Amino acid sequence: MKLIRYSIIILATLILAWQIPSLYHIVSDTSGKNVFTYYSSIEEAFCSIDFDEKENKLVRSNLNNGKVYSETDFDSILPLFYYRQLLSDGRFPDSINGKAISTKEINASNFFYRYNAKDKNTPSIPIYTLFESFSGRVKLEMPGDVFRITNSIEFINPITNEVDQEKSARFMRVFEQSSFVFPARAAYGNPSTRKPYDEGYFIIDNKGQIFHLKMVNGKPFLRNTNFPEGINPVFIATQEPNDKSFYAFVFDDKNKVYIITTDGYKVVQIKTPLFDLNKDRMMVMANPLYWNVNILSVRGKESYALKASTKEIVDSLSILRPVEEDFILSYVLPFELRFKSGSSDYIKPFIKFAKIWVLLINVLLAISYGWFASNKNGKWPLFNTVWIILTGLFGLIPSIIFKN
């Protein structure tokens, strides 16, 4: 009977460790404010759009000197972001800081890229779609087959589930003639038809080297990018920008970000503020003159403005949240048990421990419980005492309920 009672207490403790923190978060959590920021090529400073809760209106300002702008004037100091509105109004400038920039150049160089930790930490089926990269058609069309790559590359008909032996052998010969080392670690591409062209896949081989695979006129194209040694890639985001200036963003195991350029697969580091690949979000807003690199984390928002041509930092910005320690989560509840995380779509136990000082409260709870139980039963409850020291309030509640 004791074994059954102990099992019930352990199970109830785990359920409480999951539900009590969740309910507390629902009651106490507030959403953080994300202020829109963009580096102005006219003012050469970060500008922002924020909401004034007191005045109940949007405030557009220069974060460097505090100057506030009307909506129309704000469009003018961010001509590369609001160029469509300026063109509609007939106010688009002939040049920006002495450099003539056409709308064609803006359309080619402007792009947005968002990275979320879920992009890396979400489970995926290792089946990939390889488009024809030189079809001559305006719109990309589905190829009718998919491929998988581990110890070899195989193309499969998804309807009949049969392997296309001829196509598989044709592509496999290219791998065998290269320096690619099987098994492949991972393949990264952009399997969407909603893009201007296709650059295929970037595949990490067993030695951590990155290879570029695509299909040109039905024939395999495979190139070793000669990725620098000493950089261990863990995630790749393949891109197809309109100006065809680079192939992909590469993230390494040291939380650094790189791009593989179309200039002979040259690798360029993209400097970012402090960045945790497994927790934080990154957003890049690029134009012909500057790249806005934003990191969103529990700290708040931190940004770099990089010169588009050299990727050098020209300005930085920090909008940090005040660090407020939650007494309940730090000193009362010994830990939090979750099965889902905001940075992953995997369903598995995630445990976050409180401050070490919570053990003092746990000991006080255990001694109090043991003293009352021993006075009533004449015997000190050893198991419950140890369990409450380890689990605190979560172990105390079922110990009281299931005392007999």
pLDDT tens digits for range 281-304: 999 999 999 999 999 998 889 999
The amino acid at 234: V
Specify whether 101 is located in the same domain as 184: no
Specify whether 122 is located in the same domain as 54: no
Specify whether 86 is located in the same domain as 168: no
Q: Binning pLDDT at 50, 70 and 90, where does residue 372 land? A: confident
Specify whether 195 is located in the same domain as 255: yes
Taking the C-alpha atoms of residue 242 and residue 78, their distance in angstroms, rounded to an integer, is 21
Specify whether 166 is located in the same domain as 253: yes
**Residues of the domain holding 22:** 2-30+327-401
> Is residue 282 a part of any domain in this protein?
no
Q: What is the pLDDT of residues 172-182, one digit of tens each?
A: 999 999 999 99
> Is residue 21 a part of any domain in this protein?
yes
Specify whether 236 is located in the same domain as 357: no
Taking the C-alpha atoms of residue 392 and residue 360, their distance in angstroms, rounded to an integer, is 10
Specify whether 131 is located in the same domain as 169: yes
How confident is the model over 145-149, as a mean pLDDT?
A: 95
Specify whether 133 is located in the same domain as 241: yes
pLDDT at res. 180: 97
Which of 82, 106, 130 is the last residue before a domain boundary?
A: 106
**373 or 84: which leads in pLDDT:** 84
Q: Binning pLDDT at 50, 70 and 90, where does residue 364 land? A: very high
> Is residue 303 a part of any domain in this protein?
no
pTM: 0.86
Long-range contacts, 53-57 (Cβ 8 Å, 24+): none
How many domains in the chain? 3
Whether the upstream peptide bond of residue 183 has omega within 30° of 0, thus cis, is: yes
**314 or 119: which leads in pLDDT:** 314
**148 or 338: which leads in pLDDT:** 148
Per residue in 307-329, is it b (16+ CB within 10 Å) or e — as a string? eeeeeeeebebebeeeeeeeeeb
8-17, 27-36, 100-109: least confident range: 27-36
How confident is the model over 71-76, as a mean pLDDT?
A: 94
> Is residue 320 a part of any domain in this protein?
no
Taking the C-alpha atoms of residue 73 and residue 235, their distance in angstroms, rounded to an integer, is 41
Q: Binning pLDDT at 50, 70 and 90, where does residue 341 land? A: confident
How confident is the model over 236-249, as a mean pLDDT?
A: 95
The amino acid at 150: T
> Is residue 322 a part of any domain in this protein?
no
- Whole-number average pLDDT of the chain: 91
CA angle 79, 85, 91 (to 5 degrees): 65
pLDDT at res. 325: 72
Task: Find tokens 């050098």 and name the residue.
Answer: 312
pLDDT at res. 367: 92
Which of 270, 292, 319 is the last residue before a domain boundary?
A: 270
**73 or 403: which leads in pLDDT:** 73
Q: Binning pLDDT at 50, 70 and 90, where does residue 314 land? A: very high
Q: Binning pLDDT at 50, 70 and 90, where does residue 1 land? A: low
> Is residue 42 a part of any domain in this protein?
yes
Specify whether 261 is located in the same domain as 197: yes
Specify whether 75 is located in the same domain as 120: no
Residues paired with 149 in a beta bridge: 153
Specify whether 100 is located in the same domain as 132: no
pLDDT at res. 247: 97
Which of 74, 106, 138 is the last residue before a domain boundary?
A: 106
Tell me how far CA of residue 204 lies from CA of 1, 189, 229, 238, 256, in angstroms: 55, 12, 13, 13, 17
How confident is the model over 84-91, as a mean pLDDT?
A: 92
> Is residue 358 a part of any domain in this protein?
yes
Torsion of CA 360, 366, 367, 373, to 10 degrees: 170
> Is residue 90 a part of any domain in this protein?
yes
Specify whether 121 is located in the same domain as 262: yes
